[in-house]
Every structure is written in C-alpha cells, then in structure tokens.
Amino acid sequence: GEQVEQRPPHLSVPEGDSAVIICTYTDSATAYFYWYKQEPGAGLQLLMSVFSNVDRKEEQGLTVLLNKKDKQLSLNLTAAHPGDSAVYFCAVSVGGSGNKLIFGTGTLLSVKP
C-alpha cells in the first residue's frame, strides 16, 4: 500500500524566513494531495489541497509544489511568523470511491520571533 515519508521531523526558523517541508510517496497512482496544520490540543486544519494535474499552487503565503516524477510533495511557508508554529502533516489519497487519506509523520515547526 501507499507509504508517505515526511521530513524534517523538526524545523526551527527565525521569523520572516521561509520553511520547507517535504513528503515523498510511493504509489504513482496517487491523485490527491493535502497539507494540514495541527495546533496544540486541536484537530487538523486543512491548509491546501491539490490534484495531480497541478504542479504548483500558491495561497496566502503558502506554496505547494508537486513533482510527480520524483513522487515528491513540498510545502513552502514564505515569511513565516510565530503564528505558523504548529505541526504540519501531508496527506495523500489514491482517489476513487472509498479511498482514505494516508498521512505523513508530521513536522513540528517552530518560528522564533
């Protein structure tokens, strides 16, 4: 079945710097890609979703890149601020009826003021 690796597990950046989180997946049939943010004591908040026909998507200071050749998905937070500090998860789905999301292992991002 699909496996998702996420790195780095921990990331600390100064305020204003960019932060990059990378996921690699194994199933070339994977069709849907997601990034979620989890703050302490809270559930997962959907940040962005992309379909496999999209290579790049930007929204509100976030950039998602999808490299299907290398089966790699990345999230770039430009100009990070302390409010971005949280755990970030990538998730993928092969798609089709009844397909669940497979999550990466998470990245704890700390943005230092």
Partner 1 sequence: NAGVIQTPRHKVTGKGQEATLWCEPISGHSAVFWYRQTIVQGLEFLTYFRNQAPIDDSGMPKERFSAQMPNQSHSTLKIQSTQPQDSAVYLCASSPRLGASAETLYFGSGTRLTVL
Nearer to partner 1 among residue 20 and residue 108 (C-beta): 108
In single-letter form, the type of residue at position 40 comes to P
Question: At closest approach, how far in Å is the CB of 105 from partner 1?
Answer: 5
What gap in Å lies between CA 75 and CA 3, rounded to an integer? 18
Nearer to partner 1 among residue 18 and residue 105 (C-beta): 105
Nearer to partner 1 among residue 25 and residue 34 (C-beta): 34
Residues that bind partner 1 (CB under 8 A): 31-32, 34, 36, 41-46, 49, 51, 89, 91, 93, 95-106
Nearer to partner 1 among residue 11 and residue 31 (C-beta): 31
Question: At closest approach, how far in Å is the CB of 47 from partner 1?
Answer: 11
What gap in Å lies between CA 62 and CA 84, rounded to an integer? 11
Question: At closest approach, how far in Å is the CB of 5 from partner 1?
Answer: 11
Judge contact between 56 and 64, C-beta under 8 A: yes
Question: At closest approach, how far in Å is the CB of 42 from partner 1?
Answer: 5
Phi and psi (nearest 5°) for 100? -85, 165
Which residue's structure tokens are 């497979």? 102
What 3-state DSSP class applies to 59?
Answer: strand
